[in-house]
Amino acid sequence: MSKVWLITGSSKGFGRAFTEAALERGDRVAATARDTSTLADLAERYGDAILPLTLDVTDRDAAFRAVSSAHETFGRLDVVINNAGYGLFGTVEEITEQQLRDQLEVNLFGVLHVTQAVLPIMREQGSGHIIQVSSIGGLVAFPNLGGYHASKWALEALSDSLAQEVAGFGINVTIVEPTGFDTDWSTASAVFADPLPQYAPLHEGMAAQRATTTQPKPVGFGDAILAVVDAETPPRRVFFGESATQIVPHILNQRLTDLAEWNSVSRLAEGK
């Protein structure tokens, strides 16, 4: 049975790959973008199977209208992918309060808006699959990305709670955690704080590291997302990108080691 999808941020990058994968196999997609002209080629190729919708996810009312339009057009919503987002680069001292607020508005509150809009529909259906595009940066943190990490760590917690809350309604929640890929996420789509000279060595070191790192292209994202949505029991979390399977466990294991080392202080807090 074909599925009906709603995908935010469909114009490029991961969202574009998800949209094309669904359409190519005969599913129908409500594809949102801030500028729907970027979806014109898909509309020409797939006709009524795609519903382009203009959406800035930070506009709560617009998110509810877009979800309503998708539901009215296709009659149901089986898969919803909260993909819209961007990266904020800068040390904690460098980023402005407004930059952080803007980051949270898109990466966290934008997801909240769409999720709250689709839940009544999925509850009524008794089925549905919400996919939250997070990052390995939702599990671990690196320098110069504190604001971005804050948004993704918050998204992870929100989604973990959500999964437990809606399981009884037949709704699945999956958190997709990509590693670094060759997209414009860290270039044209990113926001950069004004650098402080005190952090020049850090920025120079990270730039040098990036220059020697070759990131893979997301050529398999379509197949990967289809494997997730077609699974009889979808995962709560899944990495996209093999390097995440090496980076994240190492950091989490170190965290557990640190906690165990300081277990005496944990007991001291209970007066033991």
Buried residues in 37-63 as b, exposed as e (16+ CB within 10 A): eebeebbeebeebbbbbebbbeeeebb
- Catalytic choice (10, 11, 134, 159): 134
- Catalytic choice (3, 86, 152, 159): 152
Closest CA to 138 of 176, 173, 168, 171: 176
46 is catalytic: no
CA distance 128 to 19: 17
- Catalytic choice (46, 148, 151, 159): 148
152 is catalytic: yes
Calculate Rg over the CA atoms of the chain: 20
CA distance 250 to 272: 31
69 is catalytic: no
- What is the DSSP annotation of 205-245? HHHHHHHT-PPPP-TTHHHHHHHHHT-SS--SEEEESTTHH
Which residues are catalytically annotated? Answer: 134, 148, 152
